């Protein structure tokens, strides 16, 4: 085996994609010192997106104190690429679920901090923004982010609503006269890895609300709130976006960003693979090792392992996925180009217990695979 590509997503809450590349690379060097190892840390628009871009083409990091998802200040950072004009922002850095310290409630969570990061990037001279929207704690339809950028969402009395999930149902009119003028010339691309519509059983609240802490009652209220806001927005802009693919991602933030900033939603995995010149890097490869925290049938909707497999399939390169957990529907992924799937979990234990040994488990699995390969070679 002469050339091995390591191209994983992060294991959320345990290891970054760069750390995984290094851990796997260490084991390969120990057992196959003659192999050429190419590390390509990947993300699909969620956590690790900034790292993936900066690792792929370079750039700098910029820190900014912004409003966290529950209203308290958080220290967030984003990347500025070498051209000095392109910012890469992770929604999770300002409005992410791991930033919630205490009870989770998407009714009270806001994307205001994400808007503050966009504003800071524009003030820094950036004219192109790539926004990864995975890992959010919010379900506010993006009104928090747009409020930070100068748009006012008003109730029946002409007062500004709270820029969070519960404010959606109170919106009766929109005043965009205060929208930051510098945004008019900015190109905003949303890196999105899901295709869910805004509302309904497959929408933002029903599919993603529970994992953000929403009770069944909250889910119904948030779903109704998003539909209500969409109705007001449709009257304001003349365009109904509720059934567009991807509008349900990240609590519906794409709804507002498309309406007011003309944002375009693109598959995050393709954006990053193209930036990393992935197709060229895998030419002549003997094996690609990829992975993510959990793999299942949903991974076909643009998750890293399948996105990698699609590219590899065109060049007939086998793909092995090392994952934390294997869920229902994984069998379908073999048709997408994944050759084999292995779980790092050595025992059926709760996540909080498994995450404490995740590094050792990944190294153990990698070493086991390499021992097997060396034995049969």
Residue 199 and residue 331 in one domain: no
275 is a domain residue: no
CA nearest to 273, candidates 4, 3, 9, 2: 9
Per residue in 214-253, pLDDT (tens digit) is 999 999 999 999 999 999 999 999 999 999 999 999 999 9
Residue 299 and residue 193 in one domain: no
* Residues near 371 by beta carbon (within 8 Å), at least 6 away in sequence: 31
Burial (0-12, 13-18, 19+ Cβ within 10 Å), 60? exposed
Name 173's bridge partners: 154
- Locate 87 and state its tokens: 């910012």
d(CA 204, CA 222): 9
Please say if the pLDDT value at position 347 is more than 80. Answer: no
Residue 350 and residue 223 in one domain: no
* Residues near 128 by beta carbon (within 8 Å), at least 6 away in sequence: 85, 86, 87, 186, 187, 189
Domain extent at residue 31: 3-42+291-376
Residue 221 and residue 251 in one domain: yes
d(CA 291, CA 287): 13
Residue 75 and residue 189 in one domain: yes
Per residue in 129-145, pLDDT (tens digit) is 999 998 899 999 999 99
- According to DSSP, residue 74 is labeled E
Count other Cβ atoms within 10 Å, centred on residue 125.
11
Percent of the chain residues topping a pLDDT of 90? 75
pLDDT for 164: 98
For residue 248, give the CATH number of its domain.
Answer: 3.90.1510.10
Please say if the pLDDT value at position 13 is more than 80. Answer: no
Q: Of 268, 300, 320, which marks where a domain is finished?
A: 268
CA 93 centroid distance within chain:
11
Residue 30 and residue 12 in one domain: yes
For residue 333, give the CATH number of its domain.
Answer: 3.40.50.10350
Residue 337 and residue 246 in one domain: no
Residue 111 and residue 186 in one domain: yes
264 is a domain residue: yes
Residue 345 and residue 315 in one domain: yes
pTM over 0.75: yes
């Amino acid at each position: 085996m002469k050339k091995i590509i390591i191209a994983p997503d992060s294991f959320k809450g345990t290891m970054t994609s760069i750390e995984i590349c290094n851990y796997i690379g260490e084991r390969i060097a120990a057992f196959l010192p003659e192999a050429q190892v190419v590390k390509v840390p990947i993300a699909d628009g969620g956590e690790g997106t900034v790292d993936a871009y900066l690792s792929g083409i370079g750039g700098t990091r910029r820190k900014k104190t912004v409003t966290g998802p529950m209203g308290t200040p958080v220290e967030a950072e984003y990347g500025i690429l070498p051209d000095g004009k392109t910012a890469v922002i992770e929604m999770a850095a300002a409005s992410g679920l791991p930033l919630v310290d205490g009870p989770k409630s998407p009714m009270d969570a806001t994307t205001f901090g994400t808007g503050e990061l966009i504003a800071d990037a524009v003030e820094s001279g950036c004219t192109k923004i790539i926004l990864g929207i995975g890992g959010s704690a919010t379900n506010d339809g993006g009104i928090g982010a747009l409020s930070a950028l100068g748009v006012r969402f008003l109730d029946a009395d002409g007062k500004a609503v709270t820029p969070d999930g519960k404010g959606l149902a109170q919106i009766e009119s929109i005043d965009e006269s205060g929208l930051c003028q510098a945004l008019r010339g900015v190109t905003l691309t949303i890196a999105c890895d899901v295709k869910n519509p805004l509302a309904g059983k497959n929408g933002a609240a029903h599919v993603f609300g529970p994992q953000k802490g929403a009770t069944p009652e909250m889910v119904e209220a948030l779903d109704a709130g998003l539909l209500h806001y969409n109705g007001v927005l449709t009257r304001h802009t003349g365009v109904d976006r509720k059934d567009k693919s991807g509008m349900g991602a990240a609590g519906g933030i794409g709804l507002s960003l498309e309406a007011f900033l003309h944002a375009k939603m693109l598959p995050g995995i393709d954006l990053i693979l193209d930036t990393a010149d992935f197709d060229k890097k895998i030419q002549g490869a003997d094996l690609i090792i990829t992975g993510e925290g959990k793999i299942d049938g949903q991974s076909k909707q643009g998750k890293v392992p399948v996105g990698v497999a699609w590219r590899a399939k065109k060049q007939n390169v086998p793909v092995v996925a090392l994952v934390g957990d294997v869920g229902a529907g994984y069998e379908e992924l073999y048709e997408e180009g994944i050759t084999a799937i292995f779980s790092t979990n050595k025992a059926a234990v709760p996540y909080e217990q498994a995450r404490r040994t995740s590094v050792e488990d990944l190294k153990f699995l990698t070493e086991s695979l390499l021992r097997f390969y060396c034995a049969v070679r």
